Amino acid sequence: MSTEPRCFEGGSVGGPDIPLPADPARYKRDDGDLVACNRLRCPACGAWVRHLDRHRLAGPMSAADKQELYDAPYPENTRFVGVGGAGTDFRVYFCRCTAHSVGGYETVELTDYGWSCGGHPQP
List the chain domain ranges: 8-117
- Of 86 and 56, the structure prediction assigns the larger pLDDT to 56
pLDDT of 40 above 80: yes
CA-CA distance, 19 to 6, in Å (whole number)? 17
CA-CA distance, 58 to 55, in Å (whole number)? 9
Say if CB 80 and CB 99 are below 8 A apart: yes
- Mean pLDDT calculated for residue range 13-22: 96
For the chain, what is the mean pLDDT? 94
**What DSSP state is assigned to residue 86?**
G
pTM above 0.75, yes or no: yes
Q: Summarize pLDDT for 93-118 with one digit per residue, the tens.
A: 999 999 999 999 999 999 999 999 99
Half-sphere exposure of 27 (CA within 13 A, CB side): 21
Nearest to 115 by CA among 99, 103, 102: 99
